[in-house]
Structure 1
Amino acid sequence: MSTIEALSSFYNEIKALLHHARHHVINTINTTMTQTYWEIGQRIVQEEQQGASRAQYGKAILKTLSDELTQEFGKGFSVDNLENMRRFYVAFQKSETASRKFNLSWSHYIFLTRIENIDERDFYEIEAVQNSWTLREMKRQFDSGLYERLKLSLDRSKAKELSIQGHVIESVNDIIKDPYVLEFVGLPVQTSYSENELESRLIDKLEHFLLELGKGYTFVARQKRITIDEKHFAVDLVFYNRLLKSFVVIDLKIGELKHQDIGQMMMYVNYFDRFEKTEDENLTIGIILCKDKSEVLVEMTLPKDNNQIYASKYLTILPNKEELLKLLEEGN
C-alpha cells in the first residue's frame, strides 16, 4: 500500500469514528428528550388529578406552562405539543418507570398515541423498533392493516403474541399474508395491465415490496430461467428468506387463479428443492399472487398436508380500514 493510500485509509477511519459518534449522540438526545416528554406528560396528568378545580382549569394551566417553557427554552412547547406529551403519557402509562426506554423518535410516538387499540399500538411500536422503520414506513404498514392481516393469518396463540413480541417468524405460515397490499406500484384497480408490467413495477419499487413481504427477505432474481426436459420456463420472482433458510418463489397472476397455475407453481417448487437448495436449507416456498381466487379450488388442488405452496390475493390500491377489515373477514 502506498503512502497516499495509507493516509487516505487513515482519514476515512477517523471520519467513520466521527460519523458513528454523531449518530450515537443524536440517538441519545432523541431518546432522552422522548423520555423527558413522557415525564412532562406524567406531571401534567398528576397536576390535573390534584382536584376538580385544577382539572377544570387544565387548559389555562397548559397555556401558562407553554408561555413559561417557550420563554426559557424556545420553540417546541406549544399548548398542542404539551397536549401531545400528556396524551403520550396516558397512552404509555403502563411504562410507569423512568427506566423504561423509548427507542423511537418523538414523531413516531405522536403517531402511535393515535392508535386506540392498545395491543395494536404495542405491536407497531415493537415492529418499528425491531425493523428500524421510519415514520413513513410505520404509517404505511398501519394504513395497509398489517396488524389485522397478521392477526387473521396466524393461529390464535401466535396472534396473541403480536402485541408482546411482535411478528415472530418460526414457520412458513408465519410469513404468508392474505391479501398483500401493493398500492406502491401505482396501478389503480380499474386499469388494465400485464403481468410483466406488474413485475416491473414491483422490481422498480423493490424496497417497498420487501417491506410488504416482511422479515428476513433478500432478492435473488427475476424471470429466473429453469430448464426441464429441454423446455424453458421463467419464474417471475425469486427471494430468499434467511430466517426460514428457504427460497421463496413468487408467481404473478393478474386474473383469477386457475388450477393450472397451482400445478405450475408445484413444478417450480419441486425444481428448486431438487436443483437449487442445499442440504442445510429448508424446503422451497411458493407464493402465487393473484387478483382473485377460489378457496375451494386451491384446497382441492393442493395436497392435504401442504406447507409449501400458498395462494394470496393482492390489492393495487390501499383500502380504508373498514373495507380492509370487511375483506379480511370475508376471506376467513
Structure 2
Amino acid sequence: MNKQNQTVNLSLNKDYKNWLKALKQKVLSTQLKAAVQVNSTLLAFYWELGEDIVRRQAQANWGDGFLKQLSKDLMAEFPEIKGFSERNLKYIRQWFLYYSGQQAIGQQAVAQLMQVPWGHNLQIISKCKSVPEALYYVRSTIEHGWSRSVLTHQIESGLWQREGQAISNFNTTLPAIQSDLAQQTLKDPYVFDFLSLTQNYNEREFEQGLTEHITQFLLELGAGFAYVGKQFHIQVGQRDFYIDLLFYHIRLHCYVVIELKTVDFEPEHAGKLNFYIRAVDELLRKEGDTPTIGILLCKNKDKLVAEYSLSDMQKPIGVSEYQLTQSLPENLQSQLPSVEEIEQELRGGR
C-alpha cells in the first residue's frame, strides 16, 4: 500500500478521528498564539504533542502518511497557527525523542525547556551531542538571554567543553563560594576567532585587537565582565606600571587583571601577575569588593609547570591558553552576533 492510500484511509480511521478531535479541543483550550515567540504554554503543548505522536506511531498502524495527514487536518482547523506544518511536527517529535531516550530528563529540566524559544530549542538539539551538553545551553540561554546567533556561536566554539577548565589556585586563595564561581568564570582555551593578526604579532597588537573588538571580547569572556581599561596605569613607590587589561566582574564583585602573553607560559609570568593583583588590591579595591583575581592568557602552557607556579602564589590566578582561529563553518561567520545582540546578552547576564 502506498503512502497516498495510507493517508486516504487514515482520514477515515475511527481511532485517528477521535484523537484528532481531542487534539483540536486541546489546542482551543490552551489558546495557543503563534505570534508569541517564547510561550511556555505553546512549548508545553509541543512536548505533549511530541509524546503523543511517538506513542501513537508505536501503537497504531497509521502508516507513513500520518504526520502529513495530521498537518493537513490541524492547518485546516487552525490556519492562523504556523506551528502545524509537517516539517514542524517532525521537529516536535524529534525534540521529544531527544530528551526522552536513555538519558531521560526530569520534570524540572522539562520545565526549563519551556523557557527557551522554539528556534533556540531546535538549534540546541541539532548541534549538541549529548543531553547534558544540551541542558547546559538551555540553562545558559535562560540565564544570559542569548539571541539565537549568540547561542549558535557559543555551541560552535565549544563553550560547554571549555568553561571552568583553566588551571588556577582559586581553591587555596579564595573563600569556597567565590572560588567555585570564579573557576566557572574561566575558560580554557579562549577562542578569539574574530581577530585578524599578522603571523608575527606582538603583545601590543594582540591587546589592540582585543580592545578594538571589545564586544566580541566581552562575549568570549562571559557575562559579568565590565571593561575598565587597557595599559591601566598604577604607581607603586616611585615606579610606574601598566596593566595590559583591567576589568571589573559585577557578579564576583572584584577587579580582574588580565595579562597577555604571545609566548608559552613561564613561571615568572605568574610572579608579575601576582604583583599586579596585589597592587590593585591596595590601590583600587574598595569596601565591598572581594579579592582581585588575575587571568594569564598565553599561547601554550605546560600544565604541570603552571600548577607548580601557582601553588605558592598568595593571590588568585588562573592560567589559560588562547586560540586565534577556530574551525567554524563559513556560514556561521556571517551569523556572529551584532553589537546590539551582544549588548542584549550582557544586559541579560547582569
Aligning the two structures, in what range does the TM-score lie when normalised by the shorter sequence?
Answer: 0.7 to 0.9
Aligned identity (percent) is 30
* Superposed CA offset, 1:251-302 (max 9, x none): 1111222333222212211110111102432221111111112334333433
Contact persistence 2:229–2:247 (CA under 8 A): yes
Say whether residues 1:104 and 2:116 are aligned partners.
yes
Q: Which residue of 16, 41, 51 corresponds with 1:42?
A: 51
Of 205-214 and 245-254, more deviation after overlay is shown by 205-214
CA RMSD of aligned residues (A): 3.0
Say whether residues 1:134 and 2:144 are aligned partners.
no
Cα distance change, pair 151–203 in 1 and its aligned pair in 2 (3 A):
closer
State the Cα distance separating 1:311 from its structure 2 match: 1.8
Q: Secondary structure at the match of 2:299?
A: strand
Q: Distance in 1 between matches of 2:265 and 2:167?
A: 23
Match of 2:252 in 1: 244
Contact persistence 2:37–2:117 (CA under 8 A): no
Q: Which residue of 253, 256, 264 corresponds with 1:256?
A: 264
Q: Secondary structure at the match of 2:162?
A: helix
Contact persistence 1:172–1:308 (CA under 8 A): no
Q: Secondary structure at the match of 2:46?
A: helix
Match of 2:307 in 1: 299
Match of 2:96 in 1: 89
Match of 1:174 in 2: 184
Contact persistence 2:234–2:240 (CA under 8 A): yes
Q: Secondary structure at the match of 1:113?
A: helix
Q: Distance in 1 between matches of 2:230 and 2:242?
A: 8
Q: Distance in 2 between matches of 1:230 and 1:195?
A: 25
* Superposed CA offset, 1:174-197 (max 9, x none): 32222111112244xx83323222
| Aligned residue-pair number | 278
Q: Distance in 1 between matches of 2:179 and 2:268?
A: 30
Gaps of 5+ in 2: 1-33, 169-177, 329-350
Q: Distance in 1 between matches of 2:243 and 2:51?
A: 56
Contact persistence 1:170–1:244 (CA under 8 A): no
State the Cα distance separating 1:228 from its structure 2 match: 2.5
Contact persistence 2:225–2:250 (CA under 8 A): yes
State the Cα distance separating 1:76 from its structure 2 match: 4.5
- AA of the residue aligned to 2:70: L
- AA of the residue aligned to 2:87: D
Cα distance change, pair 307–43 in 1 and its aligned pair in 2 (3 A):
farther
Match of 2:232 in 1: 224
TM score, norm. by length of structure 1: 0.73
Contact persistence 1:169–1:244 (CA under 8 A): no
Cα distance change, pair 304–142 in 1 and its aligned pair in 2 (3 A):
same
| 1:259-298 superposed matches below 5 A | 259-298=267-306
Contact persistence 1:287–1:310 (CA under 8 A): yes
Q: Distance in 2 between matches of 1:153 and 1:311?
A: 6
| 1:160-171 superposed matches below 5 A | 170-171=180-181
Q: Distance in 1 between matches of 2:37 and 2:88?
A: 21
State the Cα distance separating 1:41 from its structure 2 match: 1.8
Match of 2:125 in 1: 113
Q: Distance in 2 between matches of 1:60 and 1:171?
A: 51
TM score, norm. by length of structure 2: 0.70
Cα distance change, pair 278–140 in 1 and its aligned pair in 2 (3 A):
same
Match of 2:243 in 1: 235
State the Cα distance separating 1:315 from its structure 2 match: 0.7
Contact persistence 2:232–2:244 (CA under 8 A): yes
Cα distance change, pair 304–151 in 1 and its aligned pair in 2 (3 A):
same
Contact persistence 1:172–1:307 (CA under 8 A): no
Gaps of 5+ in 1: 1-24, 156-167, 321-332
State the Cα distance separating 1:96 from its structure 2 match: 6.2
* Superposed CA offset, 1:142-180 (max 9, x none): 11212122365599xxxxxxxxxxxx9844323222211
Of 250-259 and 299-308, more deviation after overlay is shown by 299-308
Cα distance change, pair 207–171 in 1 and its aligned pair in 2 (3 A):
same
Match of 1:22 in 2: none
Q: Distance in 2 between matches of 1:249 and 1:224?
A: 10
Q: Which residue of 77, 80, 84 corresponds with 2:87?
A: 80
- AA of the residue aligned to 1:123: Y
